[in-house]
Amino acid sequence: MNINMKTAILLGIAILIAVGLAITARGLIKKPVIETPKIDNVTTPVVSEFKVLVATKKLPLGYFLKRGDYEWRAWPARNINGNFITNKMRDSNSIMESFAGSVIKNPVLAGIPLLKGNIVHPGNRGFLAAVLKKNHRAFSIRINAITGISGFIFPGDRVDIVLTHSISLGLFDNEAIDTEGNSNRKAAQVAETVLENIRVLAIDQRTRSGANDPETGKAVNKPKTGSSVTFELTPKQTEKIALVSRMGSLSLALRSLTDFDKEQARKLSRTWDSEVSEILPNLPGHGPRATKKSSSKKTYRVEVVRGTQVKKLKYILKHVK
């Protein structure tokens, strides 16, 4: 009995020691570290079946749209505004073509979607008013194949306006006109540039320069002679052209694209008939045939009264230096 008890006690102690050793050994054994591979954040491109028409550059107020000024870009469907121009409206090519020649009512920055309410199509109500800059007016004059440069002026171009008219020499001060050898000449022809860098808004009722090729995006234009041209003018320029259109013949001179944005600080030029014709007597200060000798002259006016008749005489004393 005593032997069995001792054996049981020793066996229990051995079991406790074994369990303790096992626990200790387990704690000493280092667990293997399993490294989790890092996964870089990859941005998944937004795939949308919606495309909207956006500006490719800054479009100012009153700007005439051309094919290169806008393009299709993918847009998230959840951000589609009802005023956006989308490819779901109709055939995308026909949409692109339909906006060429339209005008912008409010400025648009590059990359910003074009809005239906911000675009006015040719022929629509308010189109010409949307084209005009602030404090400017639209004014039309008559043209023909010659004065209109054979139809090679298109809406959006800039021109100079030249007036050709006859001037009575009697309107000048006697000191300004050389009357020597010129007693029978009472008038002179003169051409003068009255307005410069004027924007053309329309030819007849055409406000766009022509359709664009859907493949190349380039304008396909054919010259067409119009009977009238509409300009964009300041109020003062409007008054000037209204007046000069009754004074003589008006002609248009097309400006280079490089001159569109240049402000003209110089005095407007003019040309007298004696400058282009060798047979006409020269006017002082006007013309290529300058005299070799400088001279000074003085004019005397005399009134001769005979009864009820009064006769005015003029004498010019010329001193050659």
What number of other Cβ atoms are within 10 A of residue 286's Cβ? 15
In a domain, 9, yes or no: no
Task: Among 116, 131, 146, identify where a domain stops.
Answer: 131
In a domain, 251, yes or no: yes
The verdict on 109 and 257 lying in the same domain is no
Token output for 40: 């870089």
The verdict on 181 and 138 lying in the same domain is yes
The verdict on 145 and 228 lying in the same domain is yes
Distances (CA, A) of 72 to 76, 102, 107, 120: 13, 17, 19, 19
The verdict on 119 and 243 lying in the same domain is no
Token output for 59: 């479009």
Q: Containing domain of residue 121, as a range?
A: 46-131
What's the CA gap between 223 and 202, in Å, rounded? 14
The verdict on 91 and 237 lying in the same domain is no
The verdict on 269 and 186 lying in the same domain is yes
In a domain, 199, yes or no: yes
Burial (0-12, 13-18, 19+ Cβ within 10 Å), 94: exposed
Amino acid at site 118: N
Query: Rounded to 5 degrees, what angle do the CA atoms 277, 281, 283 make?
Result: 100
Helix, coil or strand: residue 159: strand
In a domain, 256, yes or no: yes
The verdict on 124 and 261 lying in the same domain is no
The verdict on 168 and 258 lying in the same domain is yes
What's the CA gap between 117 and 124, in Å, rounded? 12
The verdict on 79 and 164 lying in the same domain is no
Question: What pLDDT, in 10s, does the model give residues 275-321?
Answer: 888 777 766 555 444 444 445 566 767 777 777 787 877 766 655 44
In a domain, 221, yes or no: yes
Distances (CA, A) of 196 to 5, 133, 214, 254, 267: 128, 17, 35, 10, 11
The verdict on 122 and 153 lying in the same domain is no
| pLDDT value at residue 42 | 53
pTM of the model: 0.55
The terminus-to-terminus CA distance of the chain in angstroms comes to: 167
What's the CA gap between 86 and 143, in Å, rounded? 41
Give Cα 4 to chain centroid, integer Å: 115
The verdict on 285 and 155 lying in the same domain is yes
What's the CA gap between 198 and 157, in Å, rounded? 8
The verdict on 84 and 73 lying in the same domain is yes
* CATH number of the domain where residue 75 is located: 3.90.1210.10
Within 75-147, strands assigned E span: 103-104, 119-120, 137-142
| pLDDT value at residue 174 | 47
Amino acid at site 280: L
Alpha carbons within 13 A on the beta-carbon side of 163: 20
| pLDDT value at residue 305 | 77
Task: Among 114, 131, 148, identify where a domain stops.
Answer: 131
The pLDDT averaged over each successive group of 10 residues in the chain (321 residues) is: 71 79 69 56 59 91 85 87 82 77 88 89 78 87 82 86 87 49 68 92 73 44 77 94 92 83 66 83 55 56 77 65 48
Token output for 18: 């074994």
| pLDDT value at residue 31 | 56
- Report how many domains make up the chain: 2
